[in-house]
Amino acid sequence: MQSFGTDQQVIQTASEWLQQGHKPALVTVLKTWGSSPRPPGSLLIMRSDGVLCGSVSGGCVEEDLLQRYRDDELSDNYPTRIDYGVNREEATRFGLPCGGRLELLVEQLTDNEQLQPLLDAMLQQQLVARHVDLQTGKVSLEQARAEQDFVYTNIYVRKIFGPQWNMLLIGAGHLSQYVSQMALMLGYKVIVCDPREEYANSWQVDGTELTTLMPDDAVLKYAQQARSIVVALTHDPKLDDMALLDALASPAFYVGAIGSLKNCKSRRQRLKQLGISPKQLERLHAPVGLLIGSHTPPEIAVSILAEITQQRNVDSVSEKKSIRLV
């Protein structure tokens, strides 16, 4: 069974509905103010008979949005932009946190040819920018780069589809299966590296890429951009350390390794002796994951993805604050 990230699931559902004869509406979060539940770029697809997929808020906005669409009250001309939570009373009515507000773009979809090229690119894990002209409604696609972000102006909207983050897992064992499945749901491009034949031959997680390169070579091939994650999960120092030596010297955003406190202390000593600087060692998350009392592979996978998500969100907030201070 293929695993889908949220965007891909919404677009595939929209394509299926169009093939079935429906004319669904695609809704995109354009901008948020205050404590809005969903970030800009979030998607929802809805049908006039009340069926929907995806989300743009905590639930109450969807209900009102769907009712207005069913009653043909949104617009006579698509695409159209609408606001929710423009004042405290409306924010409370729609279940938005105090002061929350969001602006949405609603597009009417009429032909699957509008979506098929986008869906094909996503299924091939390609990065694509979808550009919507807000004056004419014209939609165009172009190749995108991982570092590009969602853009909304009075003239156009640009949303990036496809995996903008790579996750390289060292080891094709039991734990990697759960980490990779969760990572796919979060929209990562997942590469699993294991040169050991017995592990590589048993790997069966659809949607991931398997490589039998040596770990250091895999890092050089797959983790040389800022939006990269490297997690060593083999428990074998020969393999894990090989990956960490190159990962800690790379531009990868996050580098982690599994192991007990004692083993991780020994690992740091080995890496230091192999030439890794104290500053580079500070980047190593080991033992990997948040402390949530996890014991089983699924629980450990949750802790790993939780820590990576935490680090990404903290970094995003810090970046926004620094931009405001400039």
* Lowest-confidence pick of 36-40, 108-112, 183-187: 36-40
Asked whether the predicted pLDDT for residue 17 surpasses 80, the reply is: yes
Of 122, 146, 161, the last residue of a domain is 161
Start-end of H helices in 22-173? 60-70, 88-93, 116-123
Q: Cα separations (Å) of 62 from 69, 108, 274?
A: 10, 16, 55
Q: How many domains does the chain have?
A: 2
Regarding whether 295 and 190 lie in a shared domain, the answer is: yes
Regarding whether 212 and 232 lie in a shared domain, the answer is: yes
Regarding whether 175 and 157 lie in a shared domain, the answer is: no
Regarding whether 157 and 21 lie in a shared domain, the answer is: yes
Regarding whether 122 and 58 lie in a shared domain, the answer is: yes
pLDDT at residue 3, as a whole number: 38
Structural domain contains residue 232: yes
Give the structural domain span for 275: 166-309
Q: What is the mean pLDDT of residues 65-73?
A: 89
Structural domain contains residue 113: yes
Asked whether the predicted pLDDT for residue 307 surpasses 90, the reply is: yes
Q: Kindly give, in sequence order, each residue whose CB lies less than 8 Å from that of residue 282, ignoring residues fewer than 6 positions away.
A: none
What value does the mean pLDDT of the chain take? Answer: 89
- Going by pLDDT thresholds of 50, 70 and 90, the confidence category of residue 171 is very high
Helical pair 297-325 and 174-185, crossing angle rounded to 10 deg? 40
- Going by pLDDT thresholds of 50, 70 and 90, the confidence category of residue 125 is confident
Regarding whether 151 and 224 lie in a shared domain, the answer is: no
Beta-carbon count within 10 A of 276 CB: 19
Regarding whether 104 and 86 lie in a shared domain, the answer is: yes
What is the pTM assigned to this prediction? 0.83
Beta-carbon count within 10 A of 211 CB: 18
Structural domain contains residue 315: no
- Which residue, among 163, 155, 159, has the nearest Cα to 141 in the 3D structure? 159
* Lowest-confidence pick of 97-106, 188-197, 198-207: 97-106
- Find out whether 142 and 128 touch, Cβ atoms under 8 Å: yes
Of 123, 138, 161, the last residue of a domain is 161
* Lowest-confidence pick of 108-117, 184-193, 263-272, 313-322: 313-322
Interatomic CA distance for residues 170 and 191, integer angstroms: 9
Structural domain contains residue 325: no
Q: What is the mean pLDDT of residues 111-137?
A: 92
Q: What is the mean pLDDT of residues 313-326?
A: 53
Regarding whether 248 and 110 lie in a shared domain, the answer is: no
Q: What is the mean pLDDT of residues 279-299?
A: 95
More confident residue, 71 or 193: 193
- Going by pLDDT thresholds of 50, 70 and 90, the confidence category of residue 74 is confident
More confident residue, 300 or 314: 300
Asked whether the predicted pLDDT for residue 326 surpasses 50, the reply is: no
Regarding whether 128 and 252 lie in a shared domain, the answer is: no
The partner residues of 54 in beta bridges, in order of sequence, read 44
Asked whether the predicted pLDDT for residue 69 surpasses 50, the reply is: yes
- Find out whether 228 and 311 touch, Cβ atoms under 8 Å: no
The pLDDT tens digits for 139-168 are: 999 999 988 999 999 999 999 999 999 999
Asked whether the predicted pLDDT for residue 36 surpasses 60, the reply is: yes
Asked whether the predicted pLDDT for residue 91 surpasses 60, the reply is: no
Structural domain contains residue 171: yes
Regarding whether 186 and 216 lie in a shared domain, the answer is: yes
Regarding whether 150 and 97 lie in a shared domain, the answer is: yes
CATH number at residue 225: 3.40.50.720
Structural domain contains residue 154: yes
- Find out whether 169 and 176 touch, Cβ atoms under 8 Å: yes
Of 146, 161, 176, the last residue of a domain is 161
Asked whether the predicted pLDDT for residue 135 surpasses 80, the reply is: yes
* Lowest-confidence pick of 26-30, 50-54, 197-201: 50-54
- Going by pLDDT thresholds of 50, 70 and 90, the confidence category of residue 61 is confident
- Alpha carbon dihedral 217, 222, 226, 232, in 10-degree steps, equals -70
Regarding whether 232 and 113 lie in a shared domain, the answer is: no
pLDDT at residue 84, as a whole number: 86
Structural domain contains residue 321: no
